[in-house]
C-alpha cells in the first residue's frame, strides 16, 4: 500500500515530528496510535491496526481457558498450556508489530528524504533499529515458547519479551523527544536569525533616512 500524503509540505516538518512525539505520550494502544499519527492519520492504517487489535483482546481468554494451573510437587503452581496458546500469541502479535512498526519506520525515512535534517536522520536510524530489535525479540521469544525451552517454565519468555521490548521502546521514546527538542531549537534559532536580520534592515533604513532627506534638501537648494 502507498501512504498517500504521508510526507507533509516542505513548510511544516515540525508538526509531523510532534505528532510522533505526542503518540509516545499515550499509553494504549502504543504502537497502533503512534503509527496512525505518524502517517498523518491515514484511515486505512487505523482500520488495519484495529483489525490487529481485535484478536489480541481474545488472547487473555484463550490463555485462561486452555491453560490449566496445576500444583507441581517440585515447583508449586505451574500453568500447563497447549501449543495452540503460544501459536495464537505469535500469529497475532508478531505480524501486528511488524506491520505497524514498518509504517512508522517508513514515515521516518520519507521525512528524512524530504527535509534531510539531522533530527529526522536520527529518528530514521533509531526508529528502524528499534523496530527491528522489537520484531527480532518477538520472533525469538515465540520460537522458544513454541519449542517449550525450559519445559513448563517456557511461559517465562512472554515476560522476557515484554520486558525487553519495553526497554527498547522507552529508549526509543527518549531519543524521539531529544530529536523533537533539537528540531524545535533549530527552527527557533533560524526564526531568531530572520528576526535579527529584519531588525537590522529596519535600523539601517531608519539610520539612512535622515541622510537621504538632508541630501535631497541640499540638492533642492542648489536647484533653486
CA angle 94, 98, 104 (to 5 degrees): 145
What pLDDT was estimated at residue 203?
53
What lies within 8 Å, CB to CB, of 152 at 6+ separation is 72, 75, 78, 79, 80
Cβ-in-10-Å burial (0-12, 13-18, 19+) of 194 comes to exposed
Enter the DSSP assignment of 40. Answer: T
What pLDDT was estimated at residue 105?
78
What pLDDT was estimated at residue 112?
76
What pLDDT was estimated at residue 109?
78
pTM of the predicted structure, to 2 decimals: 0.57
Sites in the chain below the pLDDT cut of 50? 1-29, 32, 36, 39, 206, 209, 211-219, 221-224
What pLDDT was estimated at residue 22?
41
The pLDDT tens digits of the residues spanning 59-88 come to: 778 877 877 777 777 767 777 777 788 888
What pLDDT was estimated at residue 52?
78
What pLDDT was estimated at residue 172?
79
DSSP structure string for 114-156: HH--HHHHHHHHHHHHHHHHHHHHHHHHHHHHHTTTTGGGGGH
SS3 24: coil
* CA dist 170 → 34, 164, 166 (Å): 13, 10, 6
Amino acid at each position: 500500500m502507498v501512504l498517500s500524503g504521508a510526507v507533509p509540505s516542505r513548510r511544516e516538518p515540525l508538526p509531523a515530528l510532534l505528532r510522533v512525539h505526542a503518540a509516545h505520550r499515550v499509553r494504549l494502544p502504543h504502537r497502533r496510535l503512534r503509527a496512525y499519527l505518524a502517517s498523518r492519520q491515514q484511515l486505512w492504517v487505523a482500520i488495519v491496526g484495529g483489525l490487529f487489535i481485535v484478536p489480541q483482546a481474545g488472547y487473555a481468554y484463550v490463555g485462561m481457558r486452555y491453560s490449566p494451573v496445576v500444583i507441581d510437587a517440585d515447583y508449586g503452581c505451574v500453568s500447563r498450556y497447549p501449543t495452540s496458546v503460544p501459536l495464537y500469541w505469535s500469529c497475532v502479535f508478531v505480524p501486528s508489530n511488524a506491520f505497524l512498526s514498518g509504517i512508522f519506520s517508513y514515515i521516518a525515512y520519507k521525512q528524512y528524504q524530504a527535509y534531510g535534517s539531522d533530527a529526522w536522520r536520527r529518528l530514521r536510524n533509531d526508529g528502524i533499529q528499534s523496530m527491528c530489535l522489537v520484531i527480532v525479540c518477538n520472533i525469538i521469544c515465540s520460537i522458544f515458547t513454541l519449542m517449550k525451552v525450559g519445559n513448563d517454565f517456557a511461559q517465562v519468555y512472554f515476560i522476557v519479551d515484554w520486558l525487553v521490548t519495553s526497554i527498547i521502546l522507552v529508549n526509543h521514546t527518549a531519543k524521539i523527544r531529544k530529536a523533537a527538542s533539537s528540531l524545535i531549537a533549530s527552527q527557533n534559532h533560524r526564526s531568531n536569525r530572520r528576526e535579527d536580520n529584519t531588525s537590522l534592515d529596519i535600523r539601517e533604513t531608519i539610520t539612512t533616512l535622515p541622510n537621504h532627506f538632508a541630501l535631497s534638501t541640499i540638492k533642492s537648494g542648489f536647484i533653486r
